Amino acid sequence: MTGTLVKSSLLESALSKLNLERITLDIRGPHLIATLDHAATKNALTDQLMHELNLVLDNTCDDRTLRSLVLRGANGAFCAGADLKAALHCIDEPTGVSDPVASMNRQVGELYLKLNHYPKAVIAVVEGPAFGGGFGMACCADIVIVGEKALFALSETTLGLPPAQIAPYVVARVGQSGARRLALSGMRVDADEALRIGLADEYCGPESIEVRLTEVLNFVAKCSPEANAVTKRIILSTEPSVEDAAQSFADSLRHAEGREGVAAFNEKRPASWVEKI
């Protein structure tokens, strides 16, 4: 017990030096709870939040005293997705040797790749909207627990964009047919539907979600840390193409429909191609 307390203390000390502003951390025994917490953007994947999440992953991935990472969202949301306003700042910059839009999107893809291959159990607890990039983060988790207000959407195509970096993880989660249905319609999926199609593993009401999370963490704690790391490496033997996805996203954002879709999103109006019947 003393050894565990010392190790936890050392980990807590190391994490406190990260100076995080948009992620709050809680160490629960051998488990780390990371809560995305930026109300102004509904926990969107801004440069700052991605930087902080990278810091958390980089500073804990080799710590064998840690058994799992739990991802949650504050402010009634899990994650609102990519920061499209940031993409607009570089849409008209010259591409030169390195396309700035593709470079930005590549960073997102590298974060997903890192999260997907994190050598411990990753548990996503989704209790609010998980749109676009937030949807992708959930699909990178090993276990997804949803609350009654969970809501998912692959909304990129409604903005004239492809879910470039997200697609491989969505396919891995719900299969190709499920990914096609969700990506090509942009439809929203509630907690019950998420459970039915395999996007979520478990549904819990507000009175039981904490109890069930503790039970799941206790199951994970029974597994060998090294065996879990090796098992994930074996299962995840195929790498998604971050580079191809980044360039596809950049090309789509510069296309007339991509520009119109993002503009419509920012102006809170339907895109020009939307036709209701």
pLDDT given for residue 276 in this prediction: 64
Nearest to 119 by CA among 226, 243, 41: 226
| Cα 129 from Cα 190, distance rounded (Å) | 9
Structural contact between residues 135 and 154, judged by C-beta atoms closer than 8 angstroms: yes
Extract the residue ranges of the chain whose pLDDT is less than 50: 1-6
Backbone angles phi, psi at 125, to 5 degrees: -110, 105
Distance of alpha carbon 145 from alpha carbon 220, whole angstroms: 14
- DSSP assignment of 83-140 equals -HHHHHHTTTS--SSS-HHHHHHHHHHHHHHHHHT-SSEEEEEE-SEEETHHHHHHHT
What pLDDT, on the 0 to 100 scale, is given for residue 3? 37
Q: What domains sit in the chain, N to C, each tagged with a CATH number?
A: 2-208+221-266 (3.90.226.10)
- pLDDT score of 142: 98
**Mind listing the pLDDT tens digit for each residue in 111-134?**
999 999 999 999 999 999 999 999
Phi, psi of 243 (to 5 degrees): -65, -50
Do 30 and 10 meet the contact criterion of CB atoms below 8 Å apart? no
**Positive or negative CA dihedral for 8, 13, 14, 20?**
positive
Closest CA to 31 of 71, 72, 67: 67
The structure's pTM equals 0.86
